[in-house]
Chains A and B, each alone.
Chain A
Amino acid sequence: MDALEPPDAQLWPRVLEGDGRAFGVLFDRHRDRVHSHIRRLVHDSGEAEDLTAAAFLELWRRRHSARVVDESLLPWLLVTAGNVVSNANRARRRYRRFLAALPSPAVQPDHADHVAARLDLEPRVRQLLAAIADLPLADQRLIVLTALEGLTLQQASEVTGISYGAAKTRLSRARSRLGSVLANELGVTS
Chain B
Amino acid sequence: MTFNEERGAAIRAGLVATVHPPRLQPVARRRLMGVALLTSGLLIGGAVSAAAVTFARSPVVISGSDMPAPPGVLPGQPIISMLGELTTVTVQGTQTIPLPAAPAGATHVRVSVACLTAGTISWGFDPAGNNPSSGCSASDVRVKQGALDRAGWMDFELVAGQDAFYIGAAENVSGIVAFQFLNYIETDLGVNARGETFGVVRDGRPTPDLQSASGTDDDGAPVLGYVRSVDFDAFGPDWPGQPKNPTEALAWQTERDAKYPDGWDIPLFESDGVTEVGSFHIG
Cα separation A15 to B16 with both chains bound (whole Å): 10
Q: Contact: B19 with A20, CB < 8 Å?
A: yes
Q: Contact: A62 with B22, CB < 8 Å?
A: no
Which chain A residues in 67-122 approach chain B with CB under 8 Å?
112, 115-116
Among A22, A49, A52, A62, the residue within 8 A (CB) of B262 is: A62
Q: Contact: B12 with A20, CB < 8 Å?
A: no
Among A19, A56, A62, A116, the residue within 8 A (CB) of B15 is: A56
Cα separation A24 to B9 with both chains bound (whole Å): 10
Q: Contact: B20 with A24, CB < 8 Å?
A: no
B162 within 8 A of A: no
B18 within 8 A of A: yes
Which chain B residues in 6-42 approach chain A with CB under 8 Å?
7-8, 11-12, 14-22
Which chain A residues in 1-57 approach chain B with CB under 8 Å?
9-10, 15-24, 27-28, 31-32, 35-36, 39, 45, 49, 52-53, 56-57
Which chain B residues in 138-159 approach chain A with CB under 8 Å?
139
Cα separation A45 to B5 with both chains bound (whole Å): 13
Interface of chain A, helix or strand or loop or mixed?
helix
A60 within 8 A of B: yes
What range describes how many residues of B lie at the interface?
10 to 19
B141 to chain A, nearest CB (A): 12
Q: What residues of A have a CB within 8 angstroms of the CB of B22 in the complex?
A: 16-18
Cα separation A56 to B12 with both chains bound (whole Å): 9
Q: What residues of B have a CB within 8 angstroms of the CB of A45 in the complex?
A: 1, 4
A60 and B15 in contact (CB under 8 A), knowing A17-B22, A49-B8, A115-B1? yes
A49 and B4 in contact (CB under 8 A), knowing A10-B139, A24-B12? yes
Among B4, B19, B139, the residue within 8 A (CB) of A15 is: B19
Q: What residues of A have a CB within 8 angstroms of the CB of B21 in the complex?
A: 17-18
* Chain A, residue nearest B18 (CB): A60
A61 within 8 A of B: yes
Q: Contact: B7 with A20, CB < 8 Å?
A: no
Q: What residues of A have a CB within 8 angstroms of the CB of B11 in the complex?
A: 27, 49, 52-53, 56
B245 within 8 A of A: no
* Chain B, residue nearest A23 (CB): B19
B243 to chain A, nearest CB (A): 21
Cα separation A115 to B2 with both chains bound (whole Å): 12
Q: 1/0 per residue B240-263: CB within 8 Å of A? A: 000000000000000000000010
A24 and B15 in contact (CB under 8 A), knowing A10-B139, A16-B22? yes
Among B2, B16, B18, B139, the residue within 8 A (CB) of A21 is: B16
Q: Contact: A39 with B15, CB < 8 Å?
A: no
Counting chain A CB atoms within 10 Å of each CB, the highest count among B8, B14, B262 belongs to B8
Q: Contact: A23 with B139, CB < 8 Å?
A: no
Q: Contact: B1 with A112, CB < 8 Å?
A: yes
Q: Contact: A35 with B16, CB < 8 Å?
A: no
Cα separation A115 to B1 with both chains bound (whole Å): 9
Q: What residues of B have a CB within 8 angstroms of the CB of A17 in the complex?
A: 21-22
Q: Contact: B16 with A24, CB < 8 Å?
A: yes
Among B2, B12, B17, B20, the residue within 8 A (CB) of A27 is: B12
Cα separation A28 to B16 with both chains bound (whole Å): 11
* Chain A, residue nearest B7 (CB): A49
Q: Contact: B19 with A57, CB < 8 Å?
A: no
A152 to chain B, nearest CB (A): 23
Q: Contact: A60 with B19, CB < 8 Å?
A: yes
Among A20, A36, A39, the residue within 8 A (CB) of B16 is: A20
* Chain A, residue nearest B12 (CB): A27
A24 to chain B, nearest CB (A): 5
Cα separation A39 to B4 with both chains bound (whole Å): 13
Q: What residues of B have a CB within 8 angstroms of the CB of A21 in the complex?
A: 16
Q: What residues of B have a CB within 8 angstroms of the CB of A35 in the complex?
A: 3
Q: What are 16 A-B contacts defined by CB distance under 8 Å?
A: A17-B22, A18-B22, A20-B16, A23-B16, A27-B16, A31-B3, A32-B3, A35-B3, A36-B1, A45-B1, A49-B8, A52-B3, A57-B15, A57-B18, A60-B18, A115-B1
Q: 5 smallest A-B Cβ distances: which pairs?
A: A18-B21, A20-B19, A20-B16, A53-B11, A24-B16
